[in-house]
Amino acid sequence: MPIVLIHGWGVNAGIWQPLAEQLANNFEVITIDLPGFGLNVDCVPRDYSLENIADLIASAVTREIGKPALYLGWSLGGLVATQIALSAPEKVLGLINVASSPCFVQKDEWPGIRPEILNNFYKLLSVDTRKTIDNFLKIQAMGSPQLRTDIKTVRDLVMKHDMPSVDTLSASLKLLENVDLRGALEDLNLPALSLYGRLDTLVPKGAIAEISKISPNTHTHTFEHSSHAPFISELSQFAVVVEQWVTGQISKA
């Protein structure tokens, strides 16, 4: 079965190397850089909307494998994967969201990222892009029992490629700030799995509970010793959960 791995904000497809190796025995693994990141650093569309990005990713996957696939999206990548499932369900065998939320920003009675945190990132991007990315990586690992190891692993994987431009980082950050797919989740009618880290500060425990309310048919699993990147912190167990869900050992209901 083909599985497409879509990365999150500020990084690139290099982040998937350890997981891709774990899944390779049971899946046809496809990793792809979001526009403006990694190998696609110079491929930036004029319209950096979620709908356009999702269409570009889905079209690239179709050209590469020519058949439907399982889509796994992490953080911002989860929004992209969900949009693909909404707009082109015939291309999607199933949806796995990792440390992702249909609405990342804190709103009335909705837990999420405080708006001032995103505002600080906007301000820092134009001053020191690399430091901003580095600080974001630290936030993603915050709370993990192996904080330094997780940060080093992620940094080593993603820094092999050119840095995205400030314009790309700002445009993609606006997706985290503005996209709200909560009302669209009820239109999803395919197998879905949501994976979280118990120590995550970007998708907190309260958000997990709210997401489950509006997406009751999605199977949920929380990794006890992970923050925002459970596929790094608990790599082997993460791969096992994905494989068990796909093979029906964990309910898809």
- The catalytic site residues sit at 75, 200, 228
The 3-class SS string of the chain reads: CEEEEECCCCCCHHHHHHHHHHHCCCCEEEEECCCCCHHHCCCCCCCCCHHHHHHHHHHHHHHHHCCCEEEEEECHHHHHHHHHHHHCHHHEEEEEEECCCCCCECECCECCECHHHHHHHHHHHCCCHHHHHHHHHHHHHCCCCCHHHHHHHHHHHHCCCCCCCHHHHHHHHHHHHHCCCHHHHHHCCCCEEEEEECCCCCCCHHHHHHHHHHCCCCEEEEECCCCCCHHHHCHHHHHHHHHHHHCCCCCCC
In angstroms, the CA 19 to CA 126 distance is: 32
In angstroms, the CA 186 to CA 76 distance is: 20
CB of 15 closer than 8 Å to CB of 158: yes
Q: What angle do CA 46, 49, 53 make, to 5 degrees?
A: 85
